[in-house]
A and B are shown apart, each in its own frame.
Chain A
Amino acid sequence: MEIVIVFIALLLSGGVSFFIKNGKKGGMITLGGQIVAGIFSLLLCARTSGGTALAVLNFFYVDGLTAFFLFLISISSMATAFYSLWYFKDDENTGFYNFLFNIFVFSMYFVVTVNNLGMMWMAVEITTLSSAFLVGYRNNKTAVEAAWKYVIICSVGITLALFGIILFYYTGLTQAGIKSLNWTQLNAAGNFLDPMVVKAALIFIIVGFGTKAGLAPMHNWLPDAHSQAPTPISALLSGALLKVSLYAIIRFMIISSKSVGFSFCGNILGLFGIISLAVAAFFMLVQKDIKRLLAYSSVEHMGIISMGFYFGGKTGVFGALFHTLNHAAAKSLMFFSSGVIIKKYGTNNMHQIKGALEVLPFAASAAFLGMFAVAGLPPFSIFMSEFTVLYAGFKGGFYFSSSAVLVFLAIIFGALIYHFSGMIYGKKPSEMFRIKESLGITVLFGVMLIVLLALGLHIPEFVNTLIDSASNVIFGVE
């Protein structure tokens, strides 16, 4: 029943905030909606993460894998709604923003909880459509260009994925007589599916949903959309949306593993993963725009997660899922803190941002520490998950690709240090003065940093259970 309350809460807060002119009040209502939805989805997590699967109304299906993504979406959306409140504090007429924000979060919850794969496809498309106007929110030339590319490229990808879904339906129907697209039914009949059809379908599905997940070379929309969207939306795109698309791929990977094994899906993901790392490393070196830098860093991290699935085994999948969580936390922190800096300096250009530590000590320190977290330096948790993925790679005998990952990580680390030290230190422009920073936002940064540190030092029991039960679903362990 929790799941119904989640959706009602989001629809209500979306509907009400649409009519609120005042930015602060609308933001409060949206935040309230996210908190109610978040609490109930966390309750649902708690109930299912032990390994019990729930079917609700014969339409929703919640198991360990869903629980993991529910956790991710609820935390990201609550943090982002809180940050939006600050980001739009001086703006009027944010009703449209708040409305779309709620629908966007709604559709992400829908993707991970719905049982029917056709409906899941529809929900992924709705995530694109509802966030299109959020990306183009500023309505200037660059924002509209980014939004246009975003909708067109993602819709094309998703249309190709639909072809793959139809092929899955075809083989389910002819080989196992299933007249339905329910994941539970297709998964139960996984052994009977025709391997050739499944392979053909998987190519379409991974390319299709991979476009939305930001895997290179289908990533072209991502830097544009991330750099032009309002900062809270950039954080939500990076932290939650990319992973939700990955969730769709994982669902199909589970079904297909019974007929063609994990390696087929894993190999394709590995190919895209290594290309993503290479592309990201190059573009991060030459980047000028801070938000594009962070966007390419998301491409990189999606690449690492894909590599985790490629290396496979319990360790690889654990690393990939753990990395999913860490990346969401670290990248949200990066977007949030850079958003504060960008708002003060009025530019995205990293060459024009100097001496941020003097002007905005808290935000700048958060950005600098967050940068170390994103770059994967110990003791932050991203180091642990990257280490786990690489360990799986070397243990599994993938020496060449694991070494390649290491090289790209080193390049990216250098690029991040180079760009950020210029912004944080350096001489501040003479017309800039230190300003008072919002207490709420500073506390948010502090909490996120502590989470990243704590996860790096010790994985708490509940996070462990979440990841374990998700990976049990992937490997089909009852």
Chain B
Amino acid sequence: MHIELMQYGVLLMAFAMVAAKRFSALVTSFTIQSFLLFILTLSEAIKTGSTQLYILAVLIFAIKVIGIPVFLGRITKKIKVPDEMGLYVNTTLSIIIAALLSGISYYFIRNFLPSMEKEAGIALIIALSVTLIGLFIMIFRIKALAQVVGLLIMENGIFLAGASITGGIPFFVEIAVSFDVFIAVMILGVFVYRINSLFTHIDVDKLNELKG
């Protein structure tokens, strides 16, 4: 029961991120969402007693709950840009779109995977919704840092999808993926610095010198 609750919590945090207007709020929601994933993995580890899941839980905690939020916090402090993210679509409309995306995920999973058992099905629907919401945030938020967080949200969704399958995807793949995400965020962080120092802003809608 409580596992299902956690999963809904992950979805709720995705909606909170859609509603967020400030970057700090976005990072806070992301941290809570990652924390929920940590609890999910930990409870699975306790249930099965698998060492690999314990290691994975520790890794999630170290990378996603502490490492990445601290790193993002440091960047925002250093580059001194306003906390507002800049929305292409206002909060109300964003939430409606996010709800629509969840509906699409429901429709997609129910149609393509009708044979799936109920619990796993719900988890997969939530996972796909979170992934699509992450994509939405990447496209419809102006600041470069919001795109980084959007990518992380997508990855959280994928992680939930992997975890919702009985037994989870193979351990070393999971490790490799988290490691990859960590490197990606580092590299994107460096580019945010570079964009800020070359353009004196981090608005991706103004990155439009190259076209055609």
Contacts and interface: CB of A to CB of B under 8 A. Distances in A.
A166 B165 contact: yes
Contacts of A251: none
B112 A145 contact: no
Given A118-B169, A159-B155, A194-B115, A133 B187 contact: yes
Contact of B158 (A145, A162, A292): A162
Contact of A200 (B108, B167, B180): B108
Interface string A291-304: 01000000000000
Interface of chain A, main secondary structure: helix
B68 to A, nearest CB: 15
Contacts of A287: 212
A226 B209 CA distance: 15
B176 A132 contact: no
Contact of B187 (A132, A141, A145): A132
Interface stretch (B10-18, B84-92, B193-201): B193-201
Interface stretch (A150-158, A238-246, A449-457): A150-158
A261 B163 CA distance: 29
Interface in A138-167: 139-142, 144-149, 151-152, 155-156, 159-160, 162-163, 166
Contacts of B5: none
Given A118-B173, A159-B151, A163-B131, A136 B207 contact: no
Interface residues of A, number: 51
Contacts of B154: 156, 159
Contacts, number: 127
A223 B187 CA distance: 21
A140 B180 contact: no
Interface in A228-269: 228
B135 interface: yes
Given A136-B194, A159-B158, A151 B210 contact: no
A119 interface: yes
A173 interface: yes
Contact of A196 (B112, B135, B144, B176): B112
Nearest to B193: A144
B184 interface: yes
A357 interface: no
B188 interface: yes
Contact of B180 (A122, A147, A179): A122
Contact of A122 (B155, B176, B207): B176
A118 B170 contact: yes
Contacts of A122: 173, 176-177, 179-180
A468 interface: no
Nearest to A287: B212
30 contacts: A116-B170, A118-B173, A121-B173, A122-B179, A122-B180, A129-B183, A129-B187, A132-B191, A139-B198, A142-B209, A146-B210, A148-B207, A149-B207, A149-B210, A151-B188, A152-B147, A152-B151, A159-B131, A159-B158, A160-B131, A163-B127, A163-B158, A166-B162, A173-B165, A179-B170, A181-B170, A194-B115, A200-B113, A223-B212, A227-B210
